[in-house]
Amino acid sequence: MVTRILARACSGAGFAALLVACTTAPEPRPVVESAPDVHVILDLEARFAAASRERGARTAFLEFLAEDSIVLQPGPVWGRAAWESSEEIAGTLDWSPDWAELAGDGVLGFATGPWSLTPAGEGSRVEGRYLTVWRRGSAGWAVVFDGGFGRRPSGTQDHPRPESGAAACEPGPTILPGELQVRDLSLSGSAPRPHGAKVLERLAESAVLFHPPAVEGLRERPAQQAALDALPAATQLWPMGAGIASSGDLGYTYGLSAPGADETADASYAHLWCRIGGEWRLLLELRTRLPSS
């Protein structure tokens, strides 16, 4: 069964190709005629989810995914190829954002929220958390990254009014996406500083951690520290791609995570980076477990 999380593996050659493809410089800053409005992201999410409910998830994803999109299934793979090779889901995949932001250039934005899969016949309902990154190009808006994780239902899902603008990311000099990947690498654990301590130090005040099975997200520092302390001290991050707004205020990275330098990857991750006070801070971290071999 295909959901927002598909259990597929990436080849080593695929990893290299993704890294090269996603470290190019951002496109020239476009002319924005009016102040960016985050409601454009909320409207895109509503149309995307409606397409899934009405025409099926596979059809919806192939309609909204960019040609160079990446999805976590659960490792990073090319989005369109993954969905083109999949059969339509026998059920209804639906979602609704509870947080969305739009970069100052009006070209890059993200949304995150709960999703649910209701099977068409026999079977149990599944719920989870998703993260979608949107980019506006010459052909309009499209999804450039999508990932998340699932869990067994824990009760009725709430759909609160989406938050927006809370990040308060500040415009700044344009940098190459690869510089955000370097920041990911710097979060890898090494004596005497464990991975968790490094991440905690880089979190923005409004940061949220989405570590399975916490679909609701961890927003308080004690809960965040407990989740990060539960990870191996030597946890390594292997970034595979990134994107950044030309306004220099918002960017994203994704890749694989391993419990140690000589260990096999056991999770994939996605980061949202936000410039605050002249420094890049982690606004969101999402982790997805890889199937054990």
| pTM beyond 0.75 | yes
Q: What is the pLDDT of residue 187?
A: 98
| pLDDT tens readout for residues 168-211 | 899 999 899 999 999 999 999 998 999 999 999 999 999 999 99
Q: What is the pLDDT of residue 39?
A: 94
Nearest to 243 by CA among 108, 148, 113, 142: 108
Q: Is 248 left (phi over 0), alpha (psi -120 to 50) or beta?
A: left
- Low-confidence residues in the chain, pLDDT < 70: 1-35, 155-166, 293
Tell me the domains of the chain and their CATH numbers. 12-164 (3.10.450.50), 177-289 (3.10.450.50)
| pLDDT tens readout for residues 230-266 | 999 999 999 999 999 999 999 999 999 999 999 999 9
Q: What is the pLDDT of residue 14?
A: 41
Q: What is the pLDDT of residue 156?
A: 56
